[in-house]
A = this chain, B = another copy of it.
């Protein structure tokens, strides 16, 4: 299959490109490298240095004999998107090519607008280019479980049957996303659903849980094939961050009560889910949604798992509750369906002590690179802390308190 990976330089995009290449598909990895620019802007960095995409692709060819084509394209540049569709003529697209961070989208007006314009325009451009140049192509779009929010009823996979005043209908599941980033994904979903109906395109929308893990079979293939592993406030996610905190000897930071429940999955399962979606494409005109996660944990449960494993390895691990920088329910019902990928053949890699153990060991090897100052939350949903670019900030209703708190918690890097 000719598969185009959008966001091919990212945490999941690059491992997906290798995974599919290894299984014999013709793969192109496209990126505009804006996330690398945002990292510099916000003074955060992945735990391990990440080689440029084209170098990783060369290395991949060297060690496997297989080719991954790389393309530098901005999805907001419509003529360039059209050219890719015409030239590469993909049978499937895996679309990770978006600004991926909730805190990033909440920093200021500019990042809110950037996030939504970038994500929405990119996806609209893909839809128009598909319609014109590749209407049979299967668009696999990455969304997030965060689109649903935390309703007091079971979360279904994309659609729900409602009985209301004696009549019934199956309608899109109501979404209650919790940041301008999550909102951008909800907007995408609505746009894609419409395009499938109006233009007979076909798409799988994957509402993905929080991904953890640092390694796949392919990243482990050779030094230099690693992916972009973040633990910072902006691009890091819960479990990955906790493992880094445990190694760095700073408290695991749980936001609020920590009773927020979320769906999680191993990075290896992400790749398998993508493959399963690709191998079982929808019909023309069909828009379908899979909830892509394997287990539900509360944030506190995760922190406790990491603490237990960390202590076995000899780290001193504390759990600290921070005032929640997000606006979200801290105690809530959470039961989300995730059956469709299992029905297609997913056999989950469940979170095990072994996995956490191996993550901690790997992170320990890179402990010298941990920048603890980038971990504590400075972006607050309902007020803005002075950013590093703009130390005085503006509209920082509550900046001082947060700054003070962050300072009090900070621990010198490399203490582990």
Distance from A47 Cβ to chain B, minimum over Cβ atoms (Å): 30
Contacts of A117 in B (CB 8 A): 117, 120-121
Asked whether, in the complex, the Cβ of B116 is within 8 Å of the Cβ of A124, the reply is yes
Chain A interface bracket (under 10, 10 to 19, 20 to 34, 35 or more): 35 or more
Asked whether, in the complex, the Cβ of B167 is within 8 Å of the Cβ of A152, the reply is yes
Contacts of A199 in B (CB 8 A): 382
Contacts of A172 in B (CB 8 A): 174-176
Q: Give 1 or 0 for each of A141-165: 1 = CB within 8 Å of chain B CB.
A: 0000000000111100000101111
Q: What's the Cα separation between A186 and B172 when bound, in Å?
A: 13
Contacts of A110 in B (CB 8 A): 78
Contacts of A108 in B (CB 8 A): 128
Given known pairs A124-B116, A151-B171, A395-B132, the reply for A191 and B197 (CB within 8 Å) is no
A190 contacts the other chain (CB 8 A): yes
Q: Which of A177-185, A313-321, A362-370 contacts B (4 or more CB under 8 A)?
A: A177-185
**CB-CB nearest in chain B for A182:** B194
A168 contacts the other chain (CB 8 A): yes
**CB-CB nearest in chain B for A381:** B198
Given A172-B176, A199-B382: 7 more A-B contacts, CB < 8 Å: A108-B128, A109-B124, A131-B395, A153-B168, A162-B174, A175-B190, A176-B193
Task: Give 9 A-B contacts (CB < 8 Å), ordered by A residue.
Answer: A117-B120, A132-B395, A160-B162, A172-B176, A175-B190, A177-B194, A183-B187, A183-B194, A200-B382
